[in-house]
Chains A and B, each alone.
Chain A
Amino acid sequence: MKTKRKKIDYSKWGYIFILPFFLCFFIFSFVPLIDTIRYSFFEYYRSGIKEIGPNFIGMANYGSLLKSDMIKYASNTLILWIIGFIPQIVIALMLAEWFVDARLKIHGTQFFKVVIYLPNLIMASAFAMLFFTMFSTNGPINSILLAMGLTQQPIDFLGSVVGTRSLVGLMNFLMWFGNTTIMLMAAIMGISPDIFEASELDGCNSMQRFFSITLPLIRPILAYTLITSIIGGLQMFDVPQILTNGQGTPDRTSMTLIMFLNSHLKSKNYGMAGALSVYLFIVSGILCFFVYRMTNNEDSDGSKAAAKKARKGKRG
């Protein structure tokens, strides 16, 4: 009897309820994913309206991608990402620290939180379009600079490598720093106030408090922010695409990996685009693995262990 009763099992309802999700996942994500990988081994594109292929060609697509400018575009992507990420994390840390600090008593933090998050809600392409117009050679920014006498000649922002890359970085910074700030605020608020109080009693100044207490204790979230941002950066596309009209000008220095992917899709080159996607998939897969490790392991970066050691060392 007892054993029989134990067999009464409601888990099948659980499976039934999650079935729609898995069905959708299978049809709309998994099958296309496998198809992408399959096509990456084929020569398969359209010439005019004639379809070429699919002909199996093994790893040829992967090989010719390595020989193409892919590495250059990868480094473009990385540079564009870094230009946006460094100011983003610095400003976000500063704002998060200020907003959370009870002693500063900043009024209207709620209002500022909403305002700094707002750029994230604007469509990236609309944002890029706005910047394109503002920073064009005869645009409003140049008019202001000329009127103020800061420059004699209009500055050709979008015609120079530095200008274009900085603008892309600036836009990514503006769009994402609010998001990061809010995430870091949550992390800082998660730190026990006891520690801050204790440090104040010990005569810790605000700099010391930030670098010796706040920063080490939010390291896991910082690392999470970093890696999700890299994955986002790998897929960077809309801002440079609109800003440079899809050309990655000047001299292909703002061409990102996804823009490269898109230029293959113009000729419906599923084979080559598939191979490129597989490369991107592998890179993001590795990065995801790190995020997974970090979010599932309380002490992934060893900060707590280090803190314990330090405490023990002091006592001993």
Chain B
Amino acid sequence: MKKRTVSVLLAAAMAAGSLAGCGGSDSANDGKNAEEGSVINIYSWNNEFRERVEAVYPEVAETSKDGTVTTLKDGTEIHWIINPNQDGVYQQKLDEALLRQADAAADDKVDIFLSETDYVNKYTDAEADVAMPLTDLGIDPDTDLADQYAFTKVTASDENGVQRGSTWQCCPGLLVYRRDIAKDVFGTDDPQAVGEKVKDWDTIKNTAEELSAKGYFTFASYADTFRLYGNSIAQPWVKPGETVINVDPKIMAWVNDSKEWLDAGYLDKTVKGQWNADWNQAMGSASNVFAFLFPAWGIDFTLKPNWDGDDGMWAVTNPPQEYNWGGSYIHACTGTDNPQHVKEIILAVTADKDNLLTISKDFSDFTNTQSSMRAAAADDANFSSDFLGGQNAFKYFAPVAENIVIAPLSSYDQGCVELIQNSFSDYLQGQVDYDKAKANFETAILERYPEITQVNWPE
């Protein structure tokens, strides 16, 4: 009996081992040019980037049916290596490839990889030097990327201010609200009038009182407002070269304000955090939640699928504070054997005004050129949304994008942001007291990052 169990286990282990061996094997291609390699390897977590390259990069000839290989007109092949973002799988696979980069054969080298705002800093780190400075590629950020929103350039730069990535997308967030609730409480659903009621934290608190009197919640969950606070921290979570976590007073302000709002009944107590069933339900027609804080992708990919009523019931207006949520950065990988192609792709997808306007039209991204977004804001005919009752959301996105000041980043952001919300969720739900929540954060962060030596709390 026992022997059989052991042998079954071993067989399973064997099968797992041989399966694991299958991933990531890239067939090397022959017939390469003298200078440029014949294969461009691009690491990403979904097809978003491929679709945009196909849409705007003029050299693209065709893509294979399964979407793994795109052939360019000069015969160069782009190999798309896609790993899901969930549970850190993408970063894990990418990290392994980057550690192998120096020894890899020319056609197996990573040429381009993508990163998200949450962990972009891990890859733009100057010491790690895995993302090439754009100047080394022959791109001058000051002239070639002059039309980009400033904060996206800051985000993609290392601690010395050298830009090591570029993005086509920019994710200014807005306040999306239910028109019927606005009419019921304020007597109007006009975005300008509602915008006046939510223009800053003090005003929106009074508005929340009004909403609560009629039985409505202002936001669904305390996690909804986190990004607004978290994006405005004055100092990075961890300063370059240090191993001490500094919790910014803004973060503690989020904790205290959230507690106050929860106790006052401005937030729905039953919705705990985001991305769960309760949160999704709060976007349905049966819910009493007045508003959500979303960037362009959030309206299209999160709010729209969860809304079960008619189109035109939602509208956007200015948020109480400018913020950015998300964004995918494109990096040229150090050691690439296709620098010329990489440069062309980056410029085509992130710097060309017409290309970016095409992306905005085709994929409803808020794209990263100031002039084209201003044009979109004025162009109601092409950019109005049926879901928002004919409103042109770009009119509101553009000014937010221009006013975003990005918080100083560190490579620990992802863990810090995730763990501090989790630890203080228990406090906000009344499970633990304030000091216990602090202690739990310290425990959790030390488990995640062994090199961290200390956590400093604001006075």
What residues on A are CB-neighbors of B276 within 8 Å? 132, 136
Bound Cα distance from A161 to B426, whole angstroms:
11
Indicate if the CB atoms of B95 and A46 lie closer than 8 Å: yes
Indicate if the CB atoms of B448 and A263 lie closer than 8 Å: yes
Indicate if the CB atoms of B13 and A28 lie closer than 8 Å: yes
Indicate if the CB atoms of B270 and A156 lie closer than 8 Å: yes
In chain B, positions 1-26 with a C-beta closer than 8 Å to chain A are 1-2, 7, 10, 13-14, 17
Indicate if the CB atoms of B431 and A251 lie closer than 8 Å: yes
What residues on A are CB-neighbors of B411 within 8 Å? 47-48
Indicate if the CB atoms of A159 and B10 lie closer than 8 Å: no
B432 within 8 A of A: yes
B175 within 8 A of A: no
Indicate if the CB atoms of A49 and B123 lie closer than 8 Å: yes
A 258-302 binary contact with B (CB < 8 Å = 1; else 0) = 001001101101001000000000000000000110010000000
A138 within 8 A of B: yes
Indicate if the CB atoms of A49 and B130 lie closer than 8 Å: yes
What residues on A are CB-neighbors of B98 within 8 Å? 49
A250 within 8 A of B: yes
A21 within 8 A of B: yes
What residues on B are CB-neighbors of A216 within 8 Å? none
A 37-72 binary contact with B (CB < 8 Å = 1; else 0) = 000000001111111100000000000000011000
What residues on B are CB-neighbors of A156 within 8 Å? 270, 429
B122 within 8 A of A: yes
B 267-284 binary contact with A (CB < 8 Å = 1; else 0) = 000111000111001000
B391 within 8 A of A: no
Indicate if the CB atoms of A160 and B447 lie closer than 8 Å: no
What is the size, in residues, of chain A's interface with B at 8 Å between Cβ atoms?
44
| Dominant secondary structure of chain B at its interface with chain A | helix
B 111-144 binary contact with A (CB < 8 Å = 1; else 0) = 0000000000011010110100000000000000
**B277's contact among A136, A245, A260, by CB below 8 Å, is which?**
A136
What residues on B are CB-neighbors of A256 within 8 Å? none
**B14's contact among A24, A47, A264, by CB below 8 Å, is which?**
A24
Residues A48 and B128 in contact in the complex (CB < 8 Å), given A133-B277, A251-B431: yes
Interface size, B (range): 35 or more
| Dominant secondary structure of chain A at its interface with chain B | mixed
Bound Cα distance from A45 to B88, whole angstroms:
16
B443 within 8 A of A: yes
**B122's contact among A28, A48, A250, by CB below 8 Å, is which?**
A48
Q: Which residue of B lies closest to A142 (CB)?
A: B270
Indicate if the CB atoms of A69 and B443 lie closer than 8 Å: yes
Indicate if the CB atoms of A249 and B422 lie closer than 8 Å: yes
Indicate if the CB atoms of A249 and B448 lie closer than 8 Å: no
Bound Cα distance from A130 to B188, whole angstroms:
41
Residues A138 and B277 in contact in the complex (CB < 8 Å), given A24-B14, A251-B426, A263-B448: yes
Bound Cα distance from A315 to B291, whole angstroms:
84
**B450's contact among A24, A160, A252, A267, by CB below 8 Å, is which?**
A267
B449 within 8 A of A: yes
What residues on B are CB-neighbors of A27 within 8 Å? 17
B436 within 8 A of A: yes
B381 within 8 A of A: no
What residues on B are CB-neighbors of A249 within 8 Å? 422, 425-426
For the complex formed, measure the closest distance between the CB of A257 and the CB atoms of chain B, giving whole angstroms: 13
A112 within 8 A of B: no
For the complex formed, measure the closest distance between the CB of A246 and the CB atoms of chain B, giving whole angstroms: 8
On B, residues with C-beta under 8 Å from A are 1-2, 7, 10, 13-14, 17, 88, 95, 98-99, 122-123, 125, 127-128, 130, 270-272, 276-278, 281, 411, 415, 422, 425-426, 429, 431-432, 436, 440, 443-444, 447-451
List 16 additional contacts besides A48-B411, A138-B277, A263-B447; criterion CB under 8 Å. A48-B128, A49-B98, A49-B122, A49-B130, A51-B99, A68-B447, A132-B276, A132-B277, A137-B270, A138-B281, A154-B270, A156-B270, A249-B425, A251-B436, A252-B444, A291-B2
